[in-house]
A and B are shown apart, each in its own frame.
Chain A
Amino acid sequence: MGFENLDKILEEHNLTKSEYERIVEILGREPNITELGVFSVMWSEHCSYKSSRIHLKKLPTKGKRVVQGPGENAGVVDIGDGYVAVFKIESHNHPSFIEPYQGAATGVGGILRDIFTMGARPVAVMDSLRFGSLEKPLNRQIFKGVVAGISGYGNSVGVPTVGGETCFDDSFTYNPLVNVFCLGITKKDKVFYARAKHVGAKVFYAGAKTGRDGIHGATMASAEFDDSLEEKRPNVQVGDPFKEKLLIEACLEAMDKGVVSSIQDMGAAGLTSSSVEMADRGGKGIEIDVSKVPQREEGMTPYEILLSESQERMLIVAEPGRENELKKIFNKWDLDIVEIGQITDSGKFVVREKEKIVAEIPVSSLTSSAPKYDRPYLNIVKSREKEIDNNDYIGKFSIEKIINGFLDDPNIGKKNWVFEQYDHMVQTNTVVYPGRGAAVIRIKGTDKFLTMTVDGNPDYVYLNPYEGTKRIVAESYLNISVTGAEPVGATNCLNFGNPEKPEIMGEFKYAVEGMGDASKFFEIPITGGNVSFYNETNGAAIKPTPVYGLVGIVEGEDNIITSNFKDEGDLIYLVGNLKPDFSGSFYLKKYYKRVEGVLKKTPLEIVKKVGTFLRENVKLIKAANDVSQGGVFVSLLDFITDRFGYFLQIPEVFSPELFLFGETAGMVIVSISSENQYNFEKKLREFSLDFRKIGAVVSESIKIEMLNKIIYVSSLKSFIKRYENAIPKRMEV
């Protein structure tokens, strides 16, 4: 055997010559085309994490609450009283550029399956989205399609989209980022795993039929884009949220009734990776017959059936003896379910087409012993960071102009246009709606609340991958803490360019180390996540974008802190690391068109102290929010309601620009009742935390004063109008 045009075939399969030689060595013979296809998807960056594995090991994954760390479909964290939270982020970047609506929709579908596969009902979705500037029609089109896709899919399946972030920066024009987080809840003793247990157990295929969609999606997500986009279109998978909704109900019912032994969704690399991973995790083998797989198109080859990425499909191993009950449940929900094979003790992945064996590969060669690379890396910090003097960047524009420009910027402007397209209330658990910091949901039947956030800041990470990523973790930590919650676990989505380039590999390596070190410091376990490399088009990479998804818990409604102002006359304080700086700031990028400066070391001790202070003094605090991108001014936007604005007095040690728009790690804004002033300040002193009273809550206006001179004033109504119009005015033409 052997291939006539090996080089071309390897190129089409994104495999190197040495990887091919390894395949021959493993099999002891040349692979056939079906086997080559299987190797190519399982060894793709997307499935094998071959460039990232050695670095991901540095992340902390253990903790007293961790029930399941990385390696399963999602992480599982104990939240007490017998309940667990199951969560993970996944990227769907490449498909969302090619076909924004379906790309984003199937992104939601995929992560939902990861969660309910573990036995948990999905209760919340968040998205971290990044696009190029809305001034360009292409970006508007992608943005619109992605939001509509998330809305179309998430709303239909009935899982609320409760929060997230939406950012715009031209480095994402040809590589938008669509990272979807999902969280589910179940009982600790009801968690399901994708581990084959019993030899001889029957393997079932359930859900949608298999078509030719998405063949080589996993290898596509592992290669750069070039101008051949049009040809890649047939790869697009189309989502069917109705089928997904039925699958959720059928799978949860089947798991609840105990008829499922193990279960795995067919995501990237479809039937292949689900079968292989199921066998691998249980240390078993698996044998399937592709001719039994329900097919949507005629004349599909074993290669196509194995590699198809048709959506809404599950692989289920029945509890021996309960096969008929399993089938009955799926039939009740009008879903196809067919027996396609069985678990074996051979340690091999064997694929038949009726009697004929079309592939036979040792399972472990596709998983644990897939190639891994220690790719060369460069530390790029020295070439990117340079000292700046904050005083060089003040006085050029009036405060009014800057504020109006901020409010009118889609990065800062209110995101109603986005989240009102999402059903953020279905399941009636959403306590804090999107647009007000971290999302908060209740868990019915308990006194528990979960808060969750997804955070990224590519500008920081671009300047300094290590410190920048630490700062993102610190920001998430405070984002959770300002709701009164204790962080319990994290997931990550690491979006980078081509790892074969040393500078990109350097960005990745140092970002992971920053994330690991900060997470260790806060004792936050990272229970899973996703790496997305090759976010490049025609050689230009995105800014490095590690996204951190953090989950926290609050016990008791009275212990939740919200961010909206409550009463006129309440005092406003800054607390924590009061050292604003323009390095890597949004202000510098927007008004001086540069991402530069030197990121200060993230003061982790202070950050932690601020978090502890907030949690221990909930009773004194009426509203709180952390300060991150855009500085104090932007943080205050979250406090504003249709009744209450603020009156600020800028301390004279700062320039108004630095005070309002400077950025720093470890600072929060808090509003308190004036009668608690003494106690509040006393507590802060006990914690030896820096603080400063900066103003008060007022009705109907926004007013900023410096040295007894008003430098900005606006009616609340017109201020809000501008703030709310930034996105609609660009999208609704």
Chain B
Amino acid sequence: MKFGVVVFPGSNCDYDTYHVLNNVMGVPTSFIWHKDTVLSDYDLIVLPGGFSYGDYLRSGAIARFSPVMNAVKEYSEKGGLVLGICNGFQVLLESGLLKGAMLRNRNLHFICKHVYIKVRNINTPFTNALKEGQVLRIPIAHADGNYFASEEDLKNIGANNQIVFQYSDNNGKINDSVNPNGSLLNIAAIINENGNVLGMMPHPERASEKILGSTDGKYIFKSIINYLKNRR
């Protein structure tokens, strides 16, 4: 098993993600430079958090045109697992691998804090280690995490079980008061129709070691490893 973490200019959670995959989860992991285009060696591609190209135009808007993104697209079309975290999620949206777009948080601020998210679909390669309706405590850190999609897309995403996590309270109640950024339907993570590309705003790599206050993020990585083991 081998994981790859893409490094765009301006990625800043690349090393954190590498650290968790390689040192905490024990899966050999390498960095993939944004100009690389050969991804066939990898069992998982992670697009990490950060501010690719400064996010000066729109979050993720320029990274989408990196050479590596064409390769990621092909890789995902062949069924390869792709996980976009925070800025990585934004890149997936901009590149059309996932439906929707991110708006500025409704309070206009960058928000960095722990939130609760409730899993809505445990039948994915990223969530199979979770129980139905399980609530995780994982931090968010973003300024543009206010998920938006057209009515039609939203309907389809719901109908196809593509909503994977929603912001909730610690008991799993989902309402506007626990929506940190204004996302439609409290959406924190969605998956593509084929079920192999996940985008999530919360940072599981920041919640995978006890010393950092939560290990709930490990469920995501454990799920991926389970899935890959079973697939063999």
A residues touching B (Cβ–Cβ < 8 Å)?
148, 151-152, 155-158, 240-243, 245-246, 333-334, 416, 419-428, 430-431, 442, 444, 557, 732
Contacts and interface: CB of A to CB of B under 8 A. Distances in A.
B145 interface: no
A426 B206 CA distance: 8
B111 A242 contact: no
Contacts of B112: 155, 419-425
B42 to A, nearest CB: 22
Given A426-B13, A431-B212, A557-B211, 17 more contacts: A152-B110, A155-B110, A155-B143, A157-B12, A241-B51, A245-B9, A245-B10, A419-B112, A421-B112, A422-B110, A426-B16, A426-B141, A426-B206, A428-B19, A428-B20, A430-B212, A732-B107
A242 B141 contact: no
B55 interface: yes
A425 B206 contact: yes
Nearest to B111: A420
Interface string B37-49: 0000000000001
B113 interface: yes
B205 A421 contact: no
Contacts, number: 82
Nearest to A434: B112
A426 B9 contact: no
Contact of A156 (B54, B206, B211, B212): B54
Contact of B206 (A241, A422, A428): A428
B50 interface: yes
Given A423-B110, A732-B107, A241 B54 contact: yes
B206 A420 contact: no
Given A242-B10, A421-B110, A158 B50 contact: yes
B54 A431 contact: no
B73 to A, nearest CB: 23
Nearest to B141: A423
Contact of B113 (A420, A428, A732): A420
Nearest to B54: A242
Contact of A426 (B12, B107, B113): B12
Contacts of B15: 427
A420 B109 contact: yes
Q: What secondary structure prevails in chain B residues at the interface with A?
A: mixed
B139 A442 contact: no
Contact of B53 (A152, A242, A426): A242
B20 to A, nearest CB: 8
A361 B10 CA distance: 40
Nearest to A557: B211
Contacts of B16: 426-428
A695 B54 CA distance: 51
A156 B141 contact: no
Contacts of B13: 158, 426
B209 interface: yes
Contacts of B56: 242
Interface in B1-21: 9-10, 12-13, 15-16, 19-20
Please indicate which of the listed interface residues B13, B49, B209 has the most CB atoms of chain A within 10 Å of its own CB. Answer: B13
Given A240-B54, A242-B53, A421-B110, A442 B211 contact: yes
Contacts of B107: 732
Interface in B38-78: 49-51, 53-56
Nearest to A156: B51
Interface of B: 9-10, 12-13, 15-16, 19-20, 49-51, 53-56, 107, 109-113, 139, 141, 143, 203, 205-206, 209, 211-212
Give 8 closest A-B pairs by Cβ, nearest first: A158-B12, A242-B54, A156-B51, A428-B16, A423-B141, A423-B112, A151-B110, A421-B109
B9 A333 contact: yes
A428 B209 contact: yes
A337 to B, nearest CB: 16
B50 A425 contact: no
Nearest to B12: A158
15 contacts: A155-B51, A241-B51, A242-B10, A242-B54, A245-B10, A246-B10, A333-B9, A420-B113, A422-B110, A424-B112, A425-B203, A426-B13, A426-B49, A428-B206, A557-B211
Contacts of B50: 158
B55 A246 contact: no
Contacts of B206: 425-426, 428
Contacts of A334: 9
Contacts of B19: 428, 444
Given A242-B56, A430-B212, A431-B212, A155 B111 contact: no
Contacts of A333: 9
A529 B56 CA distance: 33
Contact of A425 (B54, B139, B143): B139
A334 B9 CA distance: 9
A333 B112 CA distance: 28
Nearest to B108: A148
Nearest to B53: A242
A245 B19 CA distance: 19
A478 to B, nearest CB: 24
Contacts of A241: 51, 54
A334 B203 CA distance: 28
B141 A155 contact: yes
Contacts of A416: 113
A310 B2 CA distance: 43
Nearest to A416: B113
A144 B171 CA distance: 34
Given A155-B51, A155-B110, A242-B54, A425 B141 contact: yes
B169 to A, nearest CB: 12
Contacts of B205: 428
B9 A242 contact: yes
Contacts of B139: 425
B201 to A, nearest CB: 13
A732 B108 CA distance: 11
B179 to A, nearest CB: 15
Contacts of A431: 211-212
B34 to A, nearest CB: 10
A430 B112 CA distance: 13
Please indicate which of the listed interface residues B20, B112, B143 has the most CB atoms of chain A within 10 Å of its own CB. Answer: B112
A732 B106 CA distance: 12
Nearest to B50: A158
Contacts of A428: 16, 19-20, 205-206, 209, 212
A587 B50 CA distance: 43
Please indicate which of the listed interface residues B10, B49, B139, B205 has the most CB atoms of chain A within 10 Å of its own CB. Answer: B10
B228 to A, nearest CB: 24
B213 to A, nearest CB: 8
